[in-house]
């Protein structure tokens, strides 16, 4: 059996025009009903596979990525005081290495109070009167904070991923039935609390 996938992302108005807006200008019977779902960041997937196999595939598909500015931090991230390690304590010390000295100017530019000591980057001691949290290290972000570009750059320097890429199917049209079927998001395995731009 020959199976193929073709994923099309583009301007939603062009995709809607290609499908049609009414039964009269529709490319195929009832396919124009998909235009109701073409809002926000969406794409069309063309395949001859069964809908259940595609929905299962996307429900299992998940890829972590670096956070972008404007998203909420999923957890706290603090750079510990002392020698700055490449993962800032995210892995056990025996598996971590000191951060390369060439990164130190970038850290200072991003507001991290570092200095060079014997060829190693060191996070300076907390200033007088600092809270117990500040004495532990430099706080990059707290869970729930809306990240700015400075914070996302620091997270990327320390290889900390706080975003997750997922594909959520909204609806599909089948040539066999010529009907548009809305996907049950709970059955598809969609994460709670995720809001789509089109909802």
Predicted confidence (pLDDT) at residue 195 exceeds the cutoff of 70: no
Matching CATH number, 5-62+166-188, of 4.10.490.10, 3.90.850.10, 3.30.70.1730, 3.30.565.60: 3.30.70.1730
Indicate the pLDDT class of residue 185, thresholds 50, 70 and 90. low
pLDDT band with cut points at 50, 70 and 90 for residue 135: confident
What is the mean predicted confidence (pLDDT) over 65-94?
A: 89
Per residue in 53-77, pLDDT (tens digit) is 888 888 888 888 899 999 999 999 9
Give 173 or 1, the one with higher predicted confidence.
Answer: 173
Measured in degrees and rounded to the nearest 5, phi and psi for residue 114 equal -110, 165
44, two tokens: 């069309």
144 φψ region: left (φ > 0), alpha (ψ -120 to 50), beta (else): left
**Tens of pLDDT, residues 24-43:** 888 788 888 888 888 777 87
Rounded-to-integer distance, Cα 55 and Cα 170, Å? 10
Contact in structure between 177 and 77 (CB atoms under 8 Å) = no
Nearest Cα to 119, choosing from 83, 93, 158? Answer: 83
Model-level pTM?
Answer: 0.62
Q: Is 57 left (phi over 0), alpha (psi -120 to 50) or beta?
A: alpha
CB 66 within 8 A of CB 161: yes
CA distance 125 to 111: 14
Residue 188 has pLDDT above 50, yes or no: no
- Domain limits of the chain? 5-62+166-188, 77-161
pLDDT digits (tens, 9 = 90+) for 116-133: 999 999 998 877 777 777
Q: Give the mean pLDDT of 175-187.
A: 74
**Domain 77-161 in this protein, CATH class:** alpha beta
- For the record, the structure tokens of 67 come out as 């956070």
Model pLDDT for residues 149-158, shown as the tens digit of each residue: 999 999 999 9
What is the pLDDT of the chain when averaged over all its residues? 81
**Distance between CA atoms of residues 86 and 30, nearest Å:** 55
pLDDT confidence of 199, banded at 50, 70, 90? very low
CA pair distance 123, 107, nearest whole angstrom: 10
């Amino acid at each position: 059996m020959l199976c193929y996938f073709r994923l099309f992302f583009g301007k939603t108005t062009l995709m809607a025009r290609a499908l049609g807006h009414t039964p009269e200008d529709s490319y195929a019977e009832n396919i124009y009903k998909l235009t109701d779902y073409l809002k926000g960041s969406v794409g069309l997937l063309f395949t001859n596979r069964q809908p259940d196999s595609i929905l299962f595939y996307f429900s299992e598909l998940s890829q972590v990525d670096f956070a972008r500015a404007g998203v909420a931090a999923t957890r706290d991230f603090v750079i510990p005081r002392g020698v700055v390690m490449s993962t800032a304590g995210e892995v056990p010390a025996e598996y971590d290495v000191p951060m390369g000295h060439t990164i130190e100017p970038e850290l200072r530019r991003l507001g991290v109070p570092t200095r060079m000591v014997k060829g190693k980057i060191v996070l300076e001691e907390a200033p007088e009167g600092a809270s117990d949290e500040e004495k532990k290290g430099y706080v990059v972000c707290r869970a729930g904070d809306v990240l700015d570009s400075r914070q996302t750059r620091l997270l990327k320097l320390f290889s900390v991923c706080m975003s997750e890429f997922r594909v959520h199917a909204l609806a599909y049209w089948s040539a066999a039935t010529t009907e548009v079927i809305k996907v049950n998001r709970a059955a598809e395995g969609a994460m709670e609390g995720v809001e789509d731009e089109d909802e």
